[in-house]
Amino acid sequence: MTTTNLSLPNSPLPDQGVLDQLDIGIGGMTCASCVSRVERALKKVPGVQDATVNIATESARIRFAPADQMEARLRRAVRNAGYEPRTEQQMEAHGVASPWTGFGPVAIGLLLSAPLALPMLGDAFGQHWMLPAWLQFVLATPVQFGLGARFYRAGWHSLKALTGNMDLLVAIGTTAGWALSTWLWLTAPDGAMVHLYFEGSAVVVTLVLLGKWLEARAKHQATSAIRALHALRPEVAHLVGPDGEVDVPVAEVLVGDRLVVKPGERFPVDGVLREGQTQVDESMLTGESLAVAKDLGDKLTGGAINGDGRVLMQVSAVGSETVLSRIIRLVEDAQAAKAPIQRMVDQVSAVFVPVVLVLALLTLLAWLGLAGAPFETAMIHAVAVLVIACPCALGLATPAAIMAGTGVAAKFGILIKDAQALEVAHKVNTVVFDKTGTLTVGQPRLTAFVVAPGEDSDAVLTLAASLQSGSEHPLARAVVAAAQARTLQTTAPEQVRAVPGRGSEGEVGVRRLVLGSVRWMDELALSLGPLAAQAQQLQQEGSSVSVLAERTEVGLRLLALLAFGDEPKPGAKETLAALRARGVQIVMLSGDNRGSAEAMAQRLGLQTQHGEVIAEVLPGDKSAHIQALQKQGRTVAMVGDGINDAPALAAADVGLAMGNGTDVAMHAAGITLMRGDVALVAAALDISHRTVAKIRQNLFWAFAYNVAGIPLAALGYLNPVVAGAAMAMSSVSVMSNALLLKRWKPRLRELRGPGSG
């Protein structure tokens, strides 16, 4: 259970600017009709803005206006609807339960039903092993009213709410079979052999229980990704205190504490390496199998495994603020969310049970009136209709696939924020990439520094590095790094002002400096004079060119040209080619001049003649380019990593943020790639496509069971036992089909090319 505050600016409650969010575990749900009933019950609670129930995770997520005792009222609403609200401890216990938990009632049902079903097996071999009627009654009654009591309880609550669910269908159908058999037995003449249907009711109850138990086992496997992530959290940390090293619970660790992490241990929380060197296994967080070298000052992530070095770290984040906690929250949110297609299924399920009850009644009347069949025959056919029509598989089809798909994606470093992103991603036919930091390494270096005639190179570079010393921009860091390489001493700038998409200006000592793009200098009417030809040549060679100038009383004075170069990311070219081979349109957005952008595009294998490169794009214009593509009827995915990519990520149909980028970008995106591997873009689209395919397969088979089964049962081709087996197997087959997604692996090596890591 989690409680967080969500800002909701469009809330219909004008006096409440903030909504609370609560997750509640719910026991006793059996089909899609249960989902609809619980959602209606929760939405009736005053102050509730929205309620989403997920049968696969057996939980509800409610958003509501803050009010006293709201959690208690929500839990009471769940209980009044006929279901069990679970505490956080119960949910955790339920999650770690043994796979054999709950098999006891199934085993008892099998033992009591086997003697009843044995005569059916004997008939196939020409043997007639009919048990006495009283013994059939003794075996069937405990199954019907003992093991089947759960169906009566849930069915009664369903009737009180004037709705229907699977339990009501099972309760009515099996009770009708048991009551008919009892009536035939008690009214039969002495010594007469009458055909009874006790085996039908008992076996159906047992099969339904068996199906629910198998379904629960499959759900347990589907949530294994969450449990694996929780298992990454160590319980104890080695705290360095005034009295030396002491072991404390991780829950007591504070930001700023210094912790010792021994070889082979997991880092308990996020932090920064202060002493020592090591290799770190981050595979469970990023999907990267190779260990990552860590030096002084490098970031350490809680849950990762320390290599062979004993290190000292300083804590930077604890509790819910750690990277691992955010990952768990993202995966839980995705698995709890409801895909758009599931809402349609829920609407169908809400009217499904009443329609089935009517069909069963019509079946009974048709066999009695039109076919002239005996009452017991007509009743058995009606019972078969009730049993086979249970909408269990229908409710599980979508959430089961989403749980499995998001879980296996997280294992390989692909975090899917919500089900809608997963469902939309498979439709993507255009992928727009930011250039710097996404397709390129994002660590440009100063490749050329050309000063104006009469200027001193070291002095001018010192000015440029001083102006850029407070900036985190990649080009600014490259200038500072170049000055450090020459051992030049920089000074702190004053009154620095960044001009988005153009550059920056400020004062270094008494000198007022301007450093930015050639385009900006054109806007400021600065002539490059003797350096114009060299600037053009550098741009044609693929360098990003900036200009340093000084403001004087007579205007701007040219000081130097700065040329920057970057390298394509390993595997980027292969990934772009693989996406193009799948029919996906590729577009690279760059703020660089056209010459620089096209030079990098050539190295990446992009086809500039086909419009795959858009250069000289200001940060604020990126989202406009996304919208322009959408107006052409394209379904667009945007891939980026910087703060200036956030509007474009939000504007795209699907945003994919590089996990090595900024938090702002990750919040704006629907999918986060935990490491800066471009191949994960293709992998994310692939798992989306496969998950949606599983959803469609599951929905097809779920509908097919009912569409084919109901007419067959109504026409008398299915008896209740076969109908019960088919109904149970429909749920199991849907879960099993969804679990096939757990075998998925991204084909990163093929995308990166031979010989790569």
Task: Kindly list the catalytic residues.
Answer: 434
By DSSP bridging, strand 671-673 and strand 494-499 are unpaired
Distance CA 512, CA 307 (A): 50
CB atoms within 10 A of CB 194: 12
DSSP class of 322: S
The burial class, CB within 10 Å (0-12 / 13-18 / 19+), for 109 is buried
SS3 of 529-572: the string is HHHHHHHHHHHHCCCEEEEEEEEECCEEEEEEEEEEECCECCCH
Distance CA 305, CA 233 (A): 11
- Which alpha helices (H) appear in 412-531, and where do they start and end? 419-425, 457-468, 474-485, 518-523
Distance CA 425, CA 670 (A): 9
Mention every residue, 6+ apart, whose C-beta is less than 8 A from residue 59.
Answer: 23, 24, 25, 26, 53, 91, 336
Output the CA angle 26-30-36, nearest 5 degrees.
Answer: 75
Helix, strand, coil distribution of the chain in percent, nearest 5 = 50, 20, 30
Output the CA angle 192-198-203, nearest 5 degrees.
Answer: 150
CB atoms within 10 A of CB 377: 15
CA distances from 631 to 338, 626, 634, 635, 659 (A): 27, 9, 7, 9, 29
> What is the phi/psi pair of residue 555, to 5°?
120, -170
In single-letter form, the type of residue at position 472 comes to E
- In the structure encoding, which two tokens stand for residue 319, read together? 């509790």
Distance CA 308, CA 300 (A): 15
Mention every residue, 6+ apart, whose C-beta is less than 8 A from residue 335.
Answer: 54, 56, 57, 223, 226, 399, 402, 403, 406, 407
How many helices (H) does the chain have, and how many strands (E)?
27, 27
